[in-house]
Structure 1
Amino acid sequence: MNPNAVELAYPDQLFIGGAWVPPQTSASIEIVSPSDETLVGRVAEARQADVDRAVAAARRAFDEGPWPRMTGPERAAVLRRIGQRVGERADQFARAWAVQVGMPYAYAAATAPFSKGYFDYFAGLAEQGFEELRTPAQGGACVVVREPVGVTAAIVPWNAPLATTLLKVAPALAAGCTVVVKPSPETPLEALLLAECAADAGLPDGVLSVLPADREVSEYLVRRPEIDKVSFTGSTAAGRHIGAICASRMVRYTAELGGKSAAIVLDDAKIETIVAGILPNLISLTGQQCAAFSRILVSRRRQAEVTEALAAAFRDIKVGDAFDAQTQMGPLVSSRQRDRVCGYIAKGAEQGARLVTGGGRPAHLPKGWFVEPTLFEGANDMTIAREEIFGPVGVVIAYDDEEQAIAIANDSDYGLSGAVFTEDVERAYAVGRRIRTGNFAMNGRVIDFTLPYGGFKQSGVGREGGVEGLHGFTEVKTICLPRPPGHLGG
Structure 2
Amino acid sequence: MATLATTSLLSHPDRLFIDGEWVAAGSGRTIDVINPSTEEVFLTVAEAGAADVERAIAAARKAFDHGPWPRMTHAERAHYLRAIGDAMDRRAEDIAQIWPREMGILYAMARPFAGTIGEAYRYYAGLADSFEWEERFEAPMMGGDYALIVNEPVGVVGAIVPWNGPVNIMAYKLAPALIAGCTAVLKMSPEAPGTGYLLAEICAEVGLPAGVLNVVTADREASEVLVRDPRIDKIGFTGSSAVGKRIAGICAERLARCTLELGGKSAALILDDYDVGTAAQSLVGSACAMTGQICSSLTRIVVGADRHDELVDALVAGFEQVRIGDPFDPASGIGPLAMARQRDKVDEMVRAAEADGNRIATGGKRPASLNRGWFFEPTVITATNDDMIAREEIFGPVVTVIKAADEEQAIAIANDTRFGLNNSVFSRDADKAYAIARRLHSGTVGHNAWRSDMSVGFGGFKESGIGREGGVNGLRAYLEPKTIIMDNLA
TM-score, normalisation: structure 1? 0.97
1:176-325, aligned counterparts within 5 Å? 176-325=181-330
Aligned equivalent of 1:368 = 373
Aligned equivalent of 1:27 = 29
Instruction: Verify the 8 A CA contact 1:236 1:257 in the aligned structure 2.
Output: yes
Q: Aligned partners of 1:225, 1:2: CA distance in 2, in Å?
A: 45
Instruction: Verify the 8 A CA contact 2:19 2:60 in the aligned structure 1.
Output: yes
Displacement of 1:18 = 1.3
Q: 1:98 to 1:136 in 2, by over 3 A?
A: farther
Structure 1, gaps ≥5 residues long: none
- Partner residue of 1:389 out of 394, 400, 403: 394
| Equivalent residues, number | 485
Q: Aligned partners of 1:67, 1:445: CA distance in 2, in Å?
A: 39
In structure 2, give the amino acid aligned to 1:53.
R
Displacement of 1:451 = 1.1
Question: Can you list the C-alpha shifts for 1:325-347, whole angstroms capped at 9, x where unaligned?
Answer: 21111000111000000001001
Structure 2, gaps ≥5 residues long: none
Displacement of 1:457 = 0.3
Question: Can you list the C-alpha shifts for 1:72-124, whole angstroms capped at 9, x where unaligned?
Answer: 11000010001111110001111111111111111101110111101100001
Question: Can you list the C-alpha shifts for 1:13-43, whole angstroms capped at 9, x where unaligned?
Answer: 1100111111113200101100011111101
Aligned equivalent of 1:438 = 443
Instruction: Verify the 8 A CA contact 2:48 2:216 in the aligned structure 1.
Output: yes
- Partner residue of 2:111 out of 90, 109, 112: 109
Aligned equivalent of 1:135 = 138
Does 2:134 correspond to 1:149?
no
**SS at structure 2 position matched to 1:144:** strand
Aligned equivalent of 1:462 = 467
- Partner residue of 2:14 out of 12, 15, 24: 12
Aligned equivalent of 1:121 = 123
Q: Aligned partners of 1:168, 1:217: CA distance in 2, in Å?
A: 20
Q: Aligned partners of 1:56, 1:137: CA distance in 2, in Å?
A: 40
**SS at structure 1 position matched to 2:382:** strand
Instruction: Verify the 8 A CA contact 1:2 1:40 in the aligned structure 2.
Output: no
Once the two structures are overlaid, the 10-residue window that deviates more, 79-88 or 124-133, is 124-133
Instruction: Verify the 8 A CA contact 2:277 2:311 in the aligned structure 1.
Output: no
In structure 1, give the amino acid aligned to 2:217.
P
Instruction: Verify the 8 A CA contact 1:273 1:443 in the aligned structure 2.
Output: no
Instruction: Verify the 8 A CA contact 1:5 1:96 in the aligned structure 2.
Output: no
Question: Can you list the C-alpha shifts for 1:378-400, whole angstroms capped at 9, x where unaligned?
Answer: 11111100000111000000000
Displacement of 1:136 = 4.6
Aligned equivalent of 2:102 = 100
In structure 2, give the amino acid aligned to 1:189.
G
Q: Aligned partners of 2:370, 2:25: CA distance in 1, in Å?
A: 38
Instruction: Verify the 8 A CA contact 2:281 2:315 in the aligned structure 1.
Output: no
Instruction: Verify the 8 A CA contact 1:131 1:143 in the aligned structure 2.
Output: yes
Aligned equivalent of 2:418 = 413
Once the two structures are overlaid, the 10-residue window that deviates more, 270-279 or 458-467, is 270-279
Displacement of 1:5 = 4.8
Q: Aligned partners of 1:4, 1:267: CA distance in 2, in Å?
A: 49
Provide the identity percentage. 49
Question: Can you list the C-alpha shifts for 1:310-337, whole angstroms capped at 9, x where unaligned?
Answer: 1111111111011112111100011100
Q: Aligned partners of 1:276, 1:201: CA distance in 2, in Å?
A: 44
In structure 2, give the amino acid aligned to 1:287.
G
Q: Aligned partners of 1:171, 1:137: CA distance in 2, in Å?
A: 31
Q: Aligned partners of 2:390, 2:406: CA distance in 1, in Å?
A: 19
Give RMSD over aligned pairs: 1.4
